[in-house]
C-alpha cells in the first residue's frame, strides 16, 4: 500500500520546484462569493484510534493557515463552517498533534484512500481533499487509509491528481493544442467545477489572453461571478505583456507616506519582494546589504516591497534587519494589481529594470546574487 503525500505531489510539480529557496504563495482560502452556502458546510468524522483532543482543518497548500478546529472525542469530530459564511471551495487538509512527528512540526495528517482513474493502478492515498459545499464524511481506523466521501470536485481531484490539469508551462509546444482541447473537454463536462477553475488560475501566466477567455467562457455563470472568477477576468484584461514595462506604483512606508518605487533618474531599479515570515527572504538580506553598498550611488535605486498582511510583524522585521534602502508595503487593495503585474507566485522575487521600468532580469528564490551583480555592473556601464 503506497501513501501518496500531497506535499510530495506539490514538490514534484515544476511550477513549485523552488520550495527550498523561496516561499510559495497559497491559492485563495475560503472568501467572499456572491452565492452563500444554503446550509452549514460540515465535515464529520468517525475515525478509530484517533487521539482525543484538538484537530485542525487547514489549507492544503499552507497547512499553518487554520480554517477551523474541532474536538475529537472517542474518534468522533465535526467541523462546521457557519451557514452565513461566504465560501469558495478549496483544497483542504486535516491535522492533529503528534509529538513523534518532529520532521513535520509535530503534526500528523489524515490520509484518505484514493480511487485511481486508471484500472490496475496500485492503491494509494492522499492527505488532501477538495472541500465543496457538500462537506465531507470521513470514516475508518488509523493507521490504515481512511474512507472519504465528498462532492464531485473531490472526485475530480482524485481522478486528475497525476494529470497536472491546467499546467501547460513545460509541455512540448507540439502538444499544446492537444492539452488545450483536453482542458476544454473536461470543463465542458464539469462547468461547475471550482477544482478545474483553480487549475487554470494556478498556471494562468502560461496562457494567452485569448486562451484564457476561451477556457473561462466554458464555466457556469456563478463561477465566473465568484471572487476566483472575477480575479481571473481582471488578470486576463490587465496583465502586463512580456515586453511591456512595469507600471510605477505608489506604496506606503512605515509612516504611511506613499512613494513611487520607480526612479526615472536612476540608471537601474531593483525591486525586492519579500515578507517577514519568509525564511529565504530573511536569509537573503545580508547579500542585499552588500549589493546596496556596492552599487548605491552608482546609479542603482533599490526598494524592498513587503507583502506582509501583518504590518506590526513587518515593522519588527525592519527593526531587526536594519535595511538602509527604501522599505514599503503593499496595501490590501493593491495586492491583486501588484501580484498580477509581477506574476508573484513565490518570494523572494528580485526584478531589475532600466529607468523606464523595462525588465532586465527577474529572479525567484535566493542564491543567484552573483549573476544579478554581473547584470547590474553591465547595466551601469
- pLDDT of 326-362, one tens digit each? 999 988 777 766 766 676 777 888 989 888 888 888 8
Q: pLDDT digit string (tens) for 54-82?
A: 999 998 887 778 899 999 999 999 999 87
Residue whose grid cell is 487549475: 199
Cβ-in-10-Å burial (0-12, 13-18, 19+) of 20 comes to exposed
The answer, yes or no, to whether residue 33 has pLDDT greater than 50, is no
Calpha distance 308→287 (Å, rounded) = 21
Q: What is the pLDDT of residue 373?
A: 87
d(CA 376, CA 52): 58
> All 3 cell numbers of residue 21?
529557496
Which tens digit of pLDDT belongs to each residue from 248-277? Answer: 778 888 888 888 888 888 899 999 999 998
Radius of gyration (Cα) for the chain, nearest Å?
23
Per-residue pLDDT, averaged over 15-21, amounts to 43
Q: What is the pLDDT of residue 107?
A: 79
Identify which of 89, 7, 4 has the alpha carbon closest to the alpha carbon of residue 43: 89
pLDDT score at 5: 37
Checking DSSP bridges between strand 62-72 and strand 112-114, what pairing results, if any? unpaired
Residue 284: phi and psi, rounded to 5, are -80, -20
pLDDT tens per residue across span 71-121: 999 999 999 987 555 688 999 999 998 777 666 667 789 999 876 544 445
Three cell numbers written together for 122: 496500485
How far, in Å, CA of 15 to CA of 24, rounded? 10
Helices 279-295 & 369-380, crossing angle to 10 degrees?
A: 30
- Write a three-state SS string for 225-257: HCHHHHHHHHHHHHCCCCCCCCCCCEEECCCCC
Take residue 13 and report the three cell numbers written for it: 510539480
CATH 3.40.30.10 residue ranges of the chain are: 250-380
Q: What is the mean pLDDT of residues 145-161?
A: 92
Nearest CA-CA partner of 73 in 43, 47, 108, 112: 47
Residue 175: pLDDT band (50, 70, 90) is confident
199: left (phi over 0), alpha (psi -120 to 50) or beta: alpha
Q: Say if residues 97 and 111 touch (Cβ distance below 8 Å).
A: no
- Looking at CATH, the fold of the domain delimited by 250-380 is given as Glutaredoxin (3.40.30)
Residue with cell 505531489: 9
User: SS3 of 65, please?
Assistant: strand
Q: Residue 278 phi/psi, 5° resolution?
A: -90, 110
Q: 55: exposed, middle or buried (C-beta count within 10 Å: 0-12, 13-18, 19+)?
A: buried
Give the three-class secondary structure for 348.
coil
Question: Residues with Cβ < 8 Å from 24, sequence gap 6 or more?
Answer: 16, 18, 61, 345, 346
Which residues have C-beta within 8 Å of that of residue 63, sequence separation ≥ 6?
A: 93, 95, 107, 109
State yes or no: cis peptide before 166, omega within 30 of 0: no
CA dist 75 and 49 (Å) reads 6
Mean pLDDT of the chain: 81
Contact 12, 48 (CB under 8 A): no
3-state SS class at 14: helix
Closest CA to 114 of 129, 94, 95: 129
Amino acid at each position: 500500500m503506497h501513501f501518496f503525500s500531497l506535499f510530495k505531489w506539490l514538490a514534484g510539480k515544476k511550477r513549485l520546484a523552488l520550495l527550498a529557496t523561496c516561499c510559495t504563495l497559497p491559492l485563495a482560502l475560503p472568501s467572499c462569493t456572491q452565492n452563500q452556502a444554503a446550509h452549514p458546510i460540515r465535515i464529520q468524522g468517525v475515525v478509530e484510534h484517533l487521539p482525543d483532543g484538538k484537530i485542525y482543518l487547514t489549507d492544503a497548500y499552507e497547512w499553518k493557515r487554520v480554517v477551523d478546529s474541532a474536538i475529537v472525542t472517542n474518534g468522533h469530530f465535526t467541523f462546521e463552517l457557519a451557514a452565513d459564511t461566504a465560501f469558495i471551495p478549496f483544497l483542504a487538509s486535516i491535522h492533529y498533534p503528534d509529538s513523534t512527528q518532529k520532521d513535520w512540526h509535530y503534526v500528523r495528517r489524515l490520509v484518505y484512500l484514493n480511487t485511481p482513474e486508471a484500472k490496475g493502478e496500485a492503491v494509494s492515498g492522499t492527505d488532501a481533499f477538495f472541500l465543496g459545499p457538500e462537506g465531507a464524511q470521513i470514516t475508518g481506523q488509523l493507521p490504515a487509509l481512511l474512507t472519504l466521501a465528498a462532492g464531485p470536485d473531490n472526485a475530480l481531484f482524485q481522478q486528475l491528481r497525476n494529470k497536472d490539469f491546467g499546467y501547460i508551462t513545460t509541455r512540448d509546444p507540439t502538444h499544446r493544442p492537444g492539452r488545450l482541447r483536453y482542458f476544454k473537454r473536461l470543463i465542458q463536462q464539469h462547468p461547475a467545477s471550482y477544482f478545474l477553475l483553480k487549475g487554470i488560475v494556478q498556471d494562468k501566466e502560461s496562457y494567452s489572453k485569448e486562451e484564457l477567455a476561451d477556457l473561462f467562457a466554458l464555466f457556469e455563470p456563478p463561477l465566473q461571478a465568484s471572487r476566483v472568477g472575477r480575479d481571473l477576468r481582471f488578470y486576463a484584461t490587465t496583465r502586463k505583456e512580456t515586453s511591456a514595462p512595469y507600471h510605477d506604483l505608489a506604496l506606503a512606508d512605515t509612516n504611511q507616506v506613499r512613494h513611487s518605487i520607480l526612479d526615472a533618474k536612476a540608471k537601474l531599479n531593483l525591486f525586492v519582494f519579500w515578507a517577514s515570515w519568509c525564511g529565504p527572504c530573511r536569509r537573503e538580506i545580508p547579500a542585499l546589504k552588500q549589493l546596496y553598498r556596492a552599487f548605491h550611488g552608482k546609479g542603482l535605486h533599490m526598494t524592498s516591497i513587503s507583502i506582509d498582511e501583518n504590518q506590526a510583524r513587518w515593522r519588527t522585521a525592519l527593526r531587526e534587519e536594519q535595511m538602509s534602502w527604501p522599505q514599503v508595503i503593499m496595501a490590501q487593495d493593491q495586492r491583486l494589481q501588484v501580484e498580477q503585474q509581477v506574476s508573484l507566485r513565490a518570494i523572494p522575487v528580485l526584478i531589475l529594470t532600466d529607468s523606464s521600468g523595462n525588465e532586465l532580469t527577474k529572479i525567484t528564490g535566493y542564491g543567484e546574487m552573483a549573476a544579478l551583480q554581473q547584470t547590474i555592473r553591465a547595466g551601469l556601464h
